[in-house]
A and B are shown apart, each in its own frame.
Chain A
Amino acid sequence: MILKSEYDLVILGRGAAAFSAAIKASEITAGQASIAMIGFGPLGGTCVNVGCVPSKYLIEAAKVVHNQSHPRYPGIDSIKPAINSGKIMGSLRDAVKEERVNKYENVLKSYGNIDIYEGRARFLDKSTVIVDNNGDSEKLNGYNFIIATGSSTKIPHIEGLEDTGYLTSNTVWDLNNLPGKLAILGGGFIGLEIGQSLERLGTEVTVIKEHDTVAPGIEEEIGAKLMEILKSEGMEFRTGKKVMRVFSRNGKKIIETQSRRGKEEMEVDEILVSSGRIPNVAGLDLEKAGVEYSSKGIFTDETMKTTNPLIYAAGDVVDQRYKLETLAAGEGSIAASNIYAGTEKKVNLQLVPWAVFTEPQFASVGYTESGYNQTGRKSITRTVPLDLVPKARILREEHGIFKMVVDSETEKIVGIHVLSPNAAEFIIEGVYAIRYGLTFRDLIENSHIFPTVAEGIKLTAQSFTRDLSRMSCCME
C-alpha cells in the first residue's frame, strides 16, 4: 500500500475519539477525505483494550462469584465456587480481542480512505507532523488535525516504587494468578472498580489514600456511603495516609506510610497504582502547532477547536472534567462535523452521564449541590435512601442513595446522582430531564414501572413535596 504524505485530515491517536472522528469525517465526505490515523499499541486505544471492556468483564465475573457466596435470600446456601483465575483472565483477554476485532479492526476495513500509521507523532509546524517509529521517522502533511492522544495513569513520585514494581490499569489484565494481598494507591473510580472485583475473586484489597474520602468530585454523602458498602464487603480503606516509600523484602512488597499517628508498614504481594490520569500531551511539540495546553490537557472551546483554528482535540487529552469513552467518541464526531459539515456543534458537559461500575453502581448527570451553588444560583435538594424503593427491598439490595438537585426558583432539575443497583442503566432519565428543562413535578406526572429501581428517581422527585412514609405504593 502506498501511503500518501498529504492528507485532508491527520488524526493523532487510534482510540475511541480518533475512530469516531475518522468515521464521521468519512461519512460526511462520502469517503473522499484522505485521513491518516497515527498511534501505537493495539487499535481502539484504552477503552476496548485496557479500560471499559476488561474492567466490566472482570466486574461481571466477580459478581457471579459474589452472588454464589453471598446469596441474598434465606433458604439458599452459600457456596464458595472454585476459582480458576488463569481461565477467567484468559477469557477476559479473549473477550477484549473479540471486541477489538469486531468494533475496530474489522470496521476499519470498510474505509479505504483511512491510512493507519504506527508510531508516536509530534508537530514539526502547523501543518506537519513527524511520526517516530523505532528509529525511523516519517513526515506527514495535513490540512486539518485532530489530537486524540488520550491519557495515561499518573504515577506518583514515591521512593522505591519503580524498583519494586507495580501494576496499573494497563497491566493488571495480563495477570493469570491474582495477588493474595493487593494495595491500591489512590481511591479513584478505576481503583474501586478493579479493587472490588479482585476482592470478590479472593484477593485481600487495601486502598491507601491521602484524603479521607473516596471518589473525589461526587456528592459527599454518596462517596461516604460507597466507601461504607465496600468496607462492609471486606475492602480495607486506609485513608489520611501518605505513602513515603516502597521496597521489597522476602519476596513481598512493603509500603511505608505516614499519617498523623506516625509511620506504618504494610506488606502486600502486589501494588496497583490508581492515582488519577494525566493527558498525553508530552512530546507532541504542541507549541510548534500553536496549540495551547496545560498539565490538565489541551484547551479547546465547546466546538473542540484548539487555539489553532485548523486543529481540533477530542477525548481524554482535552482539559475537561470527565474522561469517558462516550465523551471521547462524541467529541471526535463533533470535531469531524465541525470541520467538514460546516456545523458549530458543541459539547455540553452538563448533559454527560457517567458511572462507576462498582456494586452498587454510581451514576450521575449534571451539577452536584455544591457545584450548582458555586455558579451563584441556589439549589434545593432531596436525598432518598435506597431502602425506600420497593424494588430494592425485593432485591434485598438496600444500600444506596438517590439525590436530586433542582434550581430553587424554577424547580428545574439540574443534577441527579444515584448509588443503586443498575444505576448506570437508568441515569439517562436524568439526562433527558436536564436537557429538556423538566421540573421535578414533570417527573412525578409520569408513571414509572413498578417495581423497578428506577422508580427511585420518581420517589426522589416526590420527596420535594411530600413525606414518602405517608404514601401508598405507586401513588402520584
Chain B
Amino acid sequence: MVSKKVTMRVFGMTCDDCVRTVSDGLKDGGATEIFVSLKDGTASAVVDDSRMKPEDLSKIPVFGEKSHYKAQVRKVE
C-alpha cells in the first residue's frame, strides 16, 4: 500500500453544510486525512493507491454527474 496525498479544486460549495457533504463523500469514497476549505474551494485527502487511482478521486459519487459538486485533481504527492 502506498499512501498518496491528493489536492483537489472543488466547485459548488457555498456553506458549511457543503463542506460536510464533500468531506463525508470523500470518506465514503475511501479517502482519509480529509481537509476541505470552503474559502479556497479546495480539498486534500489521502488515498491508498493500491485500492484506487488517486486521479479517480474526482470521480467518486459526491462529485458525480448528478451531484452539485465537481472536483479536479490538481496534485498527487
Interface residues of A (CB under 8 A from B): 8, 28-30, 32-33, 143, 339-343
Q: Check A340 against B11 for contact (C-beta < 8 Å).
A: yes
Q: Check A32 against B41 for contact (C-beta < 8 Å).
A: yes
* Residues in B whose Cβ lies below 8 Å from that of A29: 11-12, 70
B50 interface residue (CB < 8 Å to A): no
Contact with A along B34-77 (1 / 0, CB 8 A): 00000001000000000000000011000111001010101000
Q: Which of B9, B11, B41, B68 has the most CB of A within 10 A?
A: B11
Besides A29-B12, A340-B72, 17 other CB < 8 A contacts?
A8-B9, A28-B70, A29-B11, A29-B70, A30-B12, A32-B11, A32-B12, A32-B41, A143-B9, A339-B72, A340-B11, A340-B70, A341-B65, A342-B63, A342-B64, A342-B70, A343-B65
- B14 → chain A closest CB, angstroms: 7
- A398 → chain B closest CB, angstroms: 50
Which residues from 3 to 55 on chain B have a C-beta closer than 8 Å to any C-beta of chain A? 9, 11-14, 41
The CA-CA distance from A342 to B58 in the complex, in Å, is 8
Q: Check B74 against A143 for contact (C-beta < 8 Å).
A: yes
Q: Which 7 A-B pairs have the closest CB atoms?
A: A29-B11, A30-B12, A32-B11, A340-B70, A342-B59, A28-B70, A32-B41
Residue in B closest to A144 when the chains form the complex, CB atoms = B72
The CA-CA distance from A8 to B70 in the complex, in Å, is 13
* Residues in B whose Cβ lies below 8 Å from that of A8: 9
Taking A342-B58, A342-B63 as contacts, is the C-beta distance between A30 and B9 under 8 angstroms? no
Q: Which of A8, A32, A143 has the most CB of B within 10 A?
A: A32
Residue in A closest to B60 when the chains form the complex, CB atoms = A342
The CA-CA distance from A266 to B4 in the complex, in Å, is 73
The CA-CA distance from A143 to B74 in the complex, in Å, is 9
* Residues in A whose Cβ lies below 8 Å from that of B63: 342
* Residues in A whose Cβ lies below 8 Å from that of B41: 32
Between A and B, 19 residue pairs with Cβ closer than 8 Å are A8-B9, A29-B11, A29-B12, A29-B70, A30-B11, A30-B12, A30-B68, A32-B11, A32-B12, A32-B13, A143-B9, A143-B72, A339-B72, A340-B70, A340-B72, A341-B65, A342-B59, A342-B70, A343-B65
Taking A143-B9, A342-B58 as contacts, is the C-beta distance between A30 and B14 under 8 angstroms? yes
The CA-CA distance from A143 to B42 in the complex, in Å, is 14
- B57 → chain A closest CB, angstroms: 11
* Residues in B whose Cβ lies below 8 Å from that of A32: 11-13, 41
- A343 → chain B closest CB, angstroms: 8
The CA-CA distance from A33 to B14 in the complex, in Å, is 13
* Residues in A whose Cβ lies below 8 Å from that of B64: 342
The CA-CA distance from A344 to B9 in the complex, in Å, is 19
The CA-CA distance from A340 to B72 in the complex, in Å, is 7
Q: Which of A28, A30, A33 has the most CB of B within 10 A?
A: A30
The CA-CA distance from A143 to B58 in the complex, in Å, is 16
- A27 → chain B closest CB, angstroms: 10
The CA-CA distance from A29 to B68 in the complex, in Å, is 8
Residue in B closest to A143 when the chains form the complex, CB atoms = B74
* Residues in A whose Cβ lies below 8 Å from that of B59: 342
* Residues in B whose Cβ lies below 8 Å from that of A339: 72
* Residues in B whose Cβ lies below 8 Å from that of A340: 11, 70, 72
* Residues in B whose Cβ lies below 8 Å from that of A343: 65
Contact partner of A28 among B9, B11, B14, B74, CB < 8 A? B11
* Residues in A whose Cβ lies below 8 Å from that of B9: 8, 143
Q: Which of A32, A143, A339, A342 has the most CB of B within 10 A?
A: A342
Residue in A closest to B13 when the chains form the complex, CB atoms = A32
Q: Check A341 against B74 for contact (C-beta < 8 Å).
A: no
Residue in A closest to B73 when the chains form the complex, CB atoms = A342
Residue in B closest to A26 when the chains form the complex, CB atoms = B11
* Residues in A whose Cβ lies below 8 Å from that of B13: 32
- A166 → chain B closest CB, angstroms: 47
* Residues in B whose Cβ lies below 8 Å from that of A33: 11
The CA-CA distance from A343 to B64 in the complex, in Å, is 10
